[in-house]
Amino acid sequence: MKKMHRSVAMSIAIALGSWGGLAQAQTTLNVISGGSQNMVDYITDYLGPLFEKQNPGVKVSVVGTGPDDAGSQKMLEKLQAQKSAGVATWDTDVVIPNQQKTGEMVQEGLLMKYRDSIATGKYAVSQSAKQALGVNVDGYVMPMFESQTAIAYNPDLVKNPPSSYDEMRAFVAKNPKAFGYNGLKNGMSGVAFIVGWMYAYGGNPDVVQQGPYDAKNSAGWKKAFADLKTFNQQVVFTPGNAGTLDMLNRGEIAMGPVWVDMFQSWKAEGRLAPNLRLKILSPGMPGQPYYYAIPAKAKNVDLAKKFIALATSPEVQAEGIVKRFNWYPGIDANVVKPALDPKVWNALFVDITPAELAKNGKPFPLAPYFKDLREQYEAQVQN
């Protein structure tokens, strides 16, 4: 009986030891993502399984908090709460916030500097990898992707498309109702067009983009808004981002501002005529990245770095970011190009080259300037 008890005890010990080994081998990398559902799906369906395959025993768990500032604010508040509570190790390993909230996280000491410690850090060459709406985030972030607005146009109707806001104004004056956009409240592509207008005509665009904030700078916007009100009398207002593309595809307008990734996705799905093309107006139109960042007291720092290094590798940026989602890569496009089929590269960069994107792709304004812009538009332009 004693031998039997000893044998049973040993079996139980072995079983418990096996379970303990499994428990130790299974590590969960906790990721919180802002943005739309497609960003969560990207990690769930593609990036997460790829990382798990390369790192046996690791499970990637991702939770989405939603788009825009509100979604990223949720993850900021989660990190704030753990910092305030004095928690030694936080339960989030990677966060993917927007520009505005990333800057706030850095200012509040919620993120760690890590970029120089990963191999792909040298590929973060964009201005947005250094500045997030006026806040120095250099070293704290790797852009997941770069989204960008541009003017979509029908070359059958527009032989020589405008290349600047000045040329756009002249075109619209000669061709009323050929241009359409969704204004200030019906989608961000319309907001982006207005922001670009203010960069062209409002004065001090670098200060508006990078700071510091001074209300005197936005006090001189009256003429720019008065000219925009005149311009708006000659255009068609569309019902939204998708509405602009629909009207463009039906020939109801000849051009209008769009998100490049949405435009390319619709084209790939056959929802847009294949001849439609893109152009960024100078002196610039805004876009916005989402960032990969690591909380200051993440539990699995080494795995988090490894995850972000994979996510920002040329091969993954080519397959996941460009090919699957039609976003611009978050890293230097020139190192992504060799990993892409030439047809995919040409589809994304034939109209807007990496050099043009670097020159005319701009950030959105600092939050207080953005607030001033919205309020003044509604008071001075909107009927």
The pLDDT tens digits of the residues spanning 320-364 come to 999 888 888 999 988 999 999 988 888 788 898 878 888 898 989
Query: Is 71 in contact with 65 (CB distance < 8 Å)?
Result: yes
Instruction: Indicate the length of the chain as a whole number.
Output: 383
Would you place residue 202 in the very low, low, confident or very high pLDDT band (cuts 50, 70, 90)? very high
Distance CA 257, CA 284 (A): 12
pLDDT tens by residue, 131-186: 888 789 999 999 999 889 999 999 999 999 999 999 999 999 999 999 999 998 87
Alpha helices by DSSP H, the chain: 2-25, 37-42, 48-54, 68-84, 99-107, 165-174, 188-201, 205-210, 215-218, 222-232, 241-249, 260-268, 301-311, 314-316, 333-336, 342-349, 354-360, 367-380
pLDDT tens by residue, 203-249: 989 999 888 899 999 989 999 999 999 999 999 999 988 999 999 99
Selection from 165, 135, 191 nearest residue 373 by Cα: 191
Bridge partners, residue 168, by sequence: none
Written as one letter, the residue type at 335 is: V
Name the 3-class secondary structure at 259.
strand
Concatenated DSSP letters for 282-330? BT-EEEEEEEEB-BTTBS-HHHHHHHHHHHTSHHHIIIIIIIIT-PEES
End-to-end CA distance of the chain: 93
**Span 56-73, mean pLDDT?**
92
Tokens of 321: 């970011």
Would you place residue 25 in the very low, low, confident or very high pLDDT band (cuts 50, 70, 90)? low
Selection from 261, 254, 260 nearest residue 279 by Cα: 260
What is the rounded (10 degree) CA torsion for 199, 76, 70, 379? -40
Distance CA 112, CA 107 (A): 11
Distance CA 118, CA 108 (A): 23
Name the 3-class secondary structure at 182.
coil
What predicted TM-score, i.e. pTM, was given to this entire model?
0.78
pLDDT tens by residue, 97-122: 999 899 999 999 999 999 999 999 99
What pLDDT, on a 0 to 100 scale, did the predictor assign at position 188?
85
Pairing of strands 131-132, 135-136: antiparallel
What pLDDT, on a 0 to 100 scale, did the predictor assign at position 367?
81
What pLDDT, on a 0 to 100 scale, did the predictor assign at position 8?
45
What pLDDT, on a 0 to 100 scale, did the predictor assign at position 18?
43
- Percent of the chain residues topping a pLDDT of 70: 93
What pLDDT, on a 0 to 100 scale, did the predictor assign at position 4?
43
Averaged pLDDT score across all residues of the chain: 90
Pairing of strands 285-292, 142-153: antiparallel
